[in-house]
Structure 1
């Protein structure tokens, strides 16, 4: 059992999550459900980007042995990532009470609390105290024996967090110094390599950013967030095809974990999820990570001119995260490229409702949309006039074929590609036989209300709540939306 536990720990320390989980499943149930086993499982899931499972495992370990502080600094960082402010504050309070201000892990948890509140200066001071305690435990030096793996990882981790807090404060010089110190202490600490890559990405040094992200991926190739950062480098460089390929790999990696977590397994025991082949499967992935990489894929597709594919992704994202401004804003511009003007106006109206502070950007998009739709309508009218002149000439030459000329005109107009196609058969004829404008509201949208109906409904809600500021804003939206719904 000792050998098996050591093998699990060795694979976890080298970030080989798949092998570590396979060996973890072979441990006795008593070992799996111990505080050490649950904490180790939390580390494995955390390092591979599986935050919900990591939170479940760390929480069970902390409830089982609240006086065990080892790895709880990592648990506090996990809660920071998941934005669980109340749980993080409670964890930090418990750790400080137990450690009596002498636990470096407790000070890391306190620093994460300050960071989540946006108090980065206080967070750096707390991390400085943690670093002092780590050093004092080893004679006041950063040279720690390799056997003290906890001291190495903890000290490097504290310096890495100092680097991230410095980045948040725009102090990139101190951030680089902190990340370099962490790498010098523990060259296997992928977080420090990742942090250096992010600094160089912000500085526009794409080659150095790619190098450091590559070093981080070489250490932890199973972390989708690291792979996504490498894709960001390609996107900044303008290599959109390669960026799209990398984002696809990230999404597949996240989706693989999502699918595995829904195939079966005991949700109450994070160590008991095993599929029919005996392979350990994982639970639900972070929806935020999946949504973000899907948005980045759609954005790259828009740049590459693959508007229909981008629209499909953004429509799905609109259902998954309906309160995210960037999704309807980009979807509206994508619909405009597809000449689906009415839906574009609905998306931009919704984006303005989500984030009124971005009204300038939305109004500029509305102006561009209105100009494009007007130009297309003028082009259509010119085409129809030209077609009418051709038909008149044909009628003059064939006085006995008046009805045939009308049939030819109707056939040509019917089979011309309709720019406002909303998934219905291509037709440009209204109920009375007239031509439907691309911005006409007589074609129903499968996704949205008409722009004016949506805006008027929002005004009614504001009036019912006596929210006069919202009413004035809604009046502007109604006026703007009516331009696209007449």
Structure 2
């Protein structure tokens, strides 16, 4: 984001005694957060806490920085995002009010995009995610969900391009890598999807959905032994009840050709 980069350069030019204040360091932390540089954001907020231990400035964002545990990020996407979406539904008026004050408030644009995505109003979701992206083009999360909306609109090539950009923006964010594998599967590009998922396993080695998707891919490739292995691994990682049912149904239909299964 150009504004964030400009702000960071301005902060870094401040005299030492002005820079090393709790307020400035918190602003630097926020700026690094906007630039998706969570390591530097952590360092800035940590210094701010040392300088001003009783200040609450920026602590909401600092908590988000500290929460960047990529092992749990994909798990939250599958299991906790629906709780958050209920909050989005309840907060829709707040988003609209914020946008009336500041039409470039990208968090509100992103929030509305999530509401519309949840409601399967994909055109509206894409519109709001794209507006959020125009304000904050460095956010891997916004790019990921914009890719999700484009994929839902059957614009898979655009979705894949946006997902690639999300991966480049934050190599450790597992969400766009998982979405990329899903898109490749929808395009019948089975030869590339397992490679993506193997890389993803390095960041979230205990996420059952990764193994379940790999099982589906191997099933489509008629590699039944590998499919059964990965379905079993997915079940061992204790997925949700709904996911257990889906995985077990896939295991039961393992030897059923896809064209016959699709006709059920």
Structure 1 length normalisation: TM-score?
Answer: 0.46
Q: What residue number does 1:177 align with?
A: 93
Query: In the alignment, which residue of structure 2 is the partner of 1:186?
Result: 102
Q: 1-side partners of 2:10 and 2:87: how far apart?
A: 42
Counterpart check, 1:61 vs 2:48: yes
Match of 1:323 among 206, 230, 245: 206
> What's the counterpart of residue 243 of structure 1?
159
Runs of 4+ in 1 over 6 A off after TM superposition: none
Would the aligned equivalents of 1:217 and 1:227 in 2 still touch at CA under 8 Å? yes
CA distance, structure 2, for counterparts of residue 197 and residue 171 of structure 1: 10
- The structure with the largest alpha-carbon Rg is 1
Residues 352 and 74 (structure 1), Cα distance of their counterparts in 2 relative to 1, 3 Å cut: closer
Identify the residue that residue 366 of structure 1 maps to in structure 2: 251
Give the aligned partner of residue 340 of structure 1: 223
1:51-80 Cα distance to aligned partner (Å, 9 max, x none): 34323321220221123333334334545x
Partners of 1:59 and 1:177 lie apart in 2 by 34
Deviation string 1:304-327 (CA, Å, 9 cap, x unpaired) is 000010011112222332210111
8 Å contact kept, 1:196–1:209: yes
Larger RCO (CA within 8 A; separation ≥ 6):
2
- Per-residue CA deviation, residues 141-199 of structure 1 (Å, 9 max, x unaligned), is xxxxxxxxxxxxxxxxxxxxxxx999543672x42211111112333321111111111
Query: Separation in 2 of the partners of 1:199 and 1:179?
Result: 11
Check if 1:206 corresponds to 2:91.
Answer: no
**Richer in helix (by share):** 2
Q: How many aligned residue pairs are there?
A: 247
Query: Structure 2 stretches of 5 or more lacking a match?
Result: 70-79
1:169 and 1:184 mapped to 2: Cα distance?
Answer: 22
Q: CA deviation at 1:368?
A: 2.3
C-alpha contact (below 8 Å) 2:88/2:114 kept by paired residues: no
For 1:54 and 1:180, locate their aligned partners in 2 and report how far apart those are by CA, in whole Å: 29
Match of residue 310 from structure 1:
193
What is the Cα deviation at residue 372 of structure 1?
A: 4.7
Contact 1:231–1:242 at 8 Å: present in 2 too? yes
Which residue, out of 3, 8, 15, partners 1:21? 8
What does 1:252-331 align with in structure 2 at a 5 Å threshold? 252-255=168-171, 287=172, 290-331=173-214
Name stretches of at least 5 consecutive residues in structure 1 with no aligned partner. 1-13, 84-117, 119-163, 256-286, 376-486
Counterpart-to-counterpart distance in 1, 2:24 and 2:50 = 13
Preserved CA contact (<8 Å) 1:308 1:338: no
The Cα of 1:331 is off from its aligned counterpart by: 0.6
CA contact (8 A) 2:88 2:115 kept: no
Offset of 1:39 from its aligned partner? 1.0
Do the aligned residues in 1 keep the contact of 2:117 with 2:149 (CA within 8 Å)? yes
Say if 1:247 and 1:297, in contact at 8 Å, map to a contact too.
yes
Structure 2 Cα separation of the partners of residues 198 and 224 of structure 1: 15
2:112 to 183, 196, 212: 196
